[in-house]
Amino acid sequence: MPSKSIDHAFTARALTGAASDPTHAGALSFMRRRYTKNLNGAEAVVWGIPFDSAVSNRPGARFGPQAIRRASAIFDNDPQYPFHRDLFADLAVIDYGDCLLDYGNHQKTPATIEREAAKLIKSGAFLVSLGGDHFVTWPILKAHAAKYGPVALVQFDAHQDTWYDDGKRIDHGSFVGRSAREGVIDAAHSIQVGIRTHAPDDCGLKIVYGYEVEELSAAEIAKAIIARTAGKPVYLTFDIDCLDPAFAPGTGTPVAGGPSSAKILSVLRHLTELNIVGADVVEVAPAYDHADVTAIAGATIAMYYLGMLAEKKARRG
């Protein structure tokens, strides 16, 4: 016990290295990473965006970043499954905290998110964003496209989010369509996985429907994703409602007939060769959750993003 410490989020002396906080105590940054606004030396940045004013059904995803951070404390300091490694032995990761948004002036929200995301991306760090509803992906995509050009979008979701809008709406159901029309994503190399609803337009994206996810193996789904993206810079967005409500009840627009968390995590495990330049987890709404089931799924997905980065760095080294 004397060798252990607590509140690693504030007391850590380096950006690498495991924490030793008790699971039930200590400051709740994401996976106990140091809370800091100093980007120097950071290879990956975890950033919360507590916004849910674009939802069409149940609100509450503004509390998603808090819930995901809290759930991430369950990851102890043993090597993380299935990566067989301490993710932070050599990978420098910080928790940058949350985006400050004016709840009374939503028209400023897109520019605020985009401006802050652009600063984080400019630092050279890999950005992992915790939503928030799915609208927040729109300004984040714009910030990534400013650096990489139109990105290939890999979207895990029950919804296509391609509903038409006027380019000004604050709406979590239209960001994909807007991104395709404005050339922020490369629709010809983008793919949606887990779709269980219909929108009027697919905007040129390939769709792997929910029933296909059920029938295909995780390796087959991953193969389709890798083929579609064709080596282009990839932005990976994960709406937690991609999962069946049995595995993610805490979300605003749940849709029955989705995959298990185990199935989709297996898909992610097969995506290590993708050129992923940024990623997010959105639509975790803890007010509708049970025993942190949804938050744990969201935290695990974000952990997988960091695990994939750690593996890539190890291979390069």
- What the block records as the tokens of 291 is 């025993």
Q: How far apart, in whole angstroms, are the C-alpha atoms of residue 122 and residue 246?
A: 39
Q: Is 134 labelled a binding residue?
A: yes
Q: Residue 65's closest CA among 286, 245, 244?
A: 286
At residue 111, φ and ψ (nearest 5 deg) are: -65, -35
CA distances from 184 to 112, 138, 143, 265 (A): 18, 9, 9, 27
Q: Is 239 labelled a binding residue?
A: yes
Q: Is 241 labelled a binding residue?
A: yes
Q: Residue 141's closest CA among 182, 199, 100, 99?
A: 182
Q: Is 21 labelled a binding residue?
A: no
Q: Is 157 labelled a binding residue?
A: yes
Question: Do residues 238 and 279 touch, judged by C-beta distance below 8 A?
Answer: yes
Q: Is 7 labelled a binding residue?
A: no
Looking at residue 281, its amino acid is V
Q: How far apart, in whole angstroms, are the C-alpha atoms of residue 9 and residue 160?
A: 37
Sheet with 206-209: strands ordered across: 34-35, 93-98, 44-49, 126-131, 276-282, 234-239, 152-156, 191-195, 206-209
Q: How far apart, in whole angstroms, are the C-alpha atoms of residue 209 and residue 207?
A: 6
9 Cβ partners below 8 Å, 6+ apart? 19, 26, 27, 28, 29, 32, 33, 34, 35, 95
Question: Do residues 128 and 99 touch, judged by C-beta distance below 8 A?
Answer: no
Q: How far apart, in whole angstroms, are the C-alpha atoms of residue 179 and residue 70?
A: 32
Output the CA torsion sign for 86, 46, 6, 90.
positive
Give the residue numbers of the binding site for Mn(2+): 134, 157, 159, 161, 239, 241
Annotated binding site: 134, 157, 159, 161, 239, 241
